[in-house]
Amino acid sequence: MHTAPAFSVGEYLAIPIAESLGDGQWKAGLAISEGQARGDRPAKCMFTQLFMSRDEALKFAINQWQQPVASH
């Protein structure tokens, strides 16, 4: 698993992640934890889209977090 720099979201810490599928494809996601979360296992949310590079996957994870939430 590869990560990008973490950022704060209120009391939570979000870490963009990219995981290799071993066949040249990558999945993007976010690991979410409370504050520093020492010793705690963060929740992990993976997106369904696949990417051809680690950098593309990390960029997607960061951009998805920055997208405004659509109101219903």
pLDDT of residue 46: 93
pLDDT at 56: 96
User: What pLDDT does 67 receive?
Assistant: 58
Residue 26 near residue 10 (C-beta atoms within 8 A): no
**Cα-based distances in Å from 50 to 21, 27, 62:** 9, 5, 15
Q: Which parts of the chain sit beneath pLDDT 70?
A: 35-40, 66-72
pLDDT value, residue 8: 78
- What is the model's pLDDT at position 35? 66
